Structure 1
């Protein structure tokens, strides 16, 4: 066997190849686990985005309702203020007419 390799060399080569396959398989498993985690994270981010979008729409509706309620209270306050001012002016005019004798 002058041109060939010895049995020991062949066995050593086989052992090294098996070790390399084990390392490669371990790296592949780690990469697959990382990929799975990234996919899970992507799905979580998608659900979070949908939740935030839904929450933003809800907040927009609540903001609109709040503006209407605040406007209604402001409108009522303006009406009450107008009635009070009208009453005060009426009392003053009535008092002035009384003093004049009308």
Structure 2
């Protein structure tokens, strides 16, 4: 998912470059653009919305800072915490076999 997200951002004409870096285990997006951080935030949101549509994924986008034309965001895709498979241990309340997930 993140690979497709990065490809979509890199192909956008308003973005000069985009890079993902991990600092202390936290993913950050470094976006170089002459646009304002608000416009880039809107573009990132539109791109992520399009990718997570019709899936159970969500995302988190937090603006961090801007230096010259480099915008930094904390960005990550969030996967659902509910069990999505059967472990075979007859868990009880959250057993996927006994209680199939509601769609």
Regarding TM over 0.5, the answer is: no
Q: TM-score scaled by structure 1?
A: 0.19
Q: TM-score scaled by structure 2?
A: 0.19
Larger proportion of strand: 2
Q: Determine which structure has greater relative contact order: mean sequence separation of CA pairs < 8 Å that are 6+ residues apart, divided by chain length.
A: 2
